[in-house]
Each structure stands twice: as structure tokens, then as C-alpha cells.
């Protein structure tokens, strides 16, 4: 908590799921994080342990490092892997969203992209998931393929 995070460097050679959202979200964000957690429980343990889950808040005013850490613990507590929660200035969050090619959040971060991006060990986003209610099945299917470089 409170450390900088160089996305490409830290996740290099590891499959990574990236999601932009906010902890006070009543629906999409907790559902999406629960789907990611479920998917990680269904893939081989060695793959789950090597996977990064990176959550970047779009609510720079309310989501402090402590708030994000507590919220992520709900999903990470029974899951292996590297669970990373990030916050920053509005300019930093906007730049991160632009770099990931997702819609930049508005309305104080509450109107945001619902995409989850799956990056392979080659540091490219190979799959973008949209909120459909079946992300856990799709992620569990795609994660081993992308991790093995067969996307």
C-alpha cells in the first residue's frame, strides 16, 4: 500500500486481469470482481498463483489505499495470485484508462468502462470481457490459453 506500481514491469511474463471501477459500486464492480475470484478458483493452482489481478479505482476522492485494500481482501482472501489495488490522481487514472484503451470514467468515477482486460505474458491485452454475467466461465476458459501464448 502506498507504493508505485509499474504495470508492464510488475506483470511482465504473468497473465494479468485489469479492471477499472470503484469500491462503492452497488452492482457491476463487485459482480465483476466476484467473477474473477471464481474463475481463479477453477483454473490450475499454479496458474492462479502466477496471475495478477489489478484493480484501478475510478473514484479518486473516496477510494484510498486502505479502502481499496479492505475491499480487495474480500475477493482475494480465498484466492491465490497477486491482487493489486491502485489509486492515484485524476490525471494518473485518466492516463491509465487511456493507455488501456478503455472509456475514461465520468461522474466522479461512477460511470466507467465495464471491461476486464486479460493480458498475456507478452504484455498484450488479448481478450476484453464485457459484463454479461458469465465472465467467470469465459475467464477460466481463456486464462490458460492466454497464459500459454495460444490466444
Domain membership of residue 58 (yes or no) is yes
Domain membership of residue 32 (yes or no) is yes
Residue 117 vs residue 2, higher pLDDT: 117
Average pLDDT over residues 90-117: 92
pTM of the model: 0.93
Domain membership of residue 1 (yes or no) is no
Give CA–CA dist 15/129, Å, rounded.
15
Domain membership of residue 3 (yes or no) is no
Count of domains for the chain = 1
Residue-wise pLDDT for 32-78, tens only, equals 999 999 999 999 999 999 999 999 999 999 999 999 999 999 999 88
List of residues 6+ apart from 19 with CB closer than 8 A: 29, 32, 33, 36, 53, 54, 55, 56, 115, 116, 117
CATH code at 36?
3.40.30.10
- Structural domain of 34: 11-147
Amino acid at each position: 500500500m502506498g507504493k508505485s506500481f509499474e504495470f508492464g514491469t510488475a506483470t511482465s511474463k504473468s497473465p494479468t486481469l485489469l479492471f477499472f471501477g470503484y469500491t462503492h459500486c452497488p452492482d457491476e464492480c463487485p459482480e465483476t470482481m466476484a467473477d474473477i475470484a471464481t474463475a481463479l478458483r477453477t483454473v490450475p493452482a499454479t496458474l492462479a498463483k502466477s496471475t495478477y489481478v489489478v484493480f484501478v479505482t475510478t473514484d479518486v476522492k473516496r477510494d484510498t489505499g486502505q479502502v481499496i485494500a479492505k475491499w480487495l481482501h474480500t475477493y482475494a482472501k480465498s484466492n491465490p495470485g497477486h491482487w493489486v489495488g491502485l489509486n492515484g490522481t485524476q490525471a494518473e487514472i485518466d492516463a491509465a484508462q487511456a493507455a488501456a484503451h478503455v472509456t475514461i470514467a465520468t461522474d466522479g468515477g461512477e460511470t466507467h468502462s465495464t471491461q476486464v482486460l486479460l493480458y498475456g505474458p507478452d504484455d498484450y491485452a488479448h481478450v476484453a470481457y464485457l459484463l454479461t454475467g458469465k465472465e467467470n466461465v469465459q475467464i477460466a476458459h481463456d486464462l490458460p490459453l492466454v497464459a500459454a501464448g495460444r490466444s
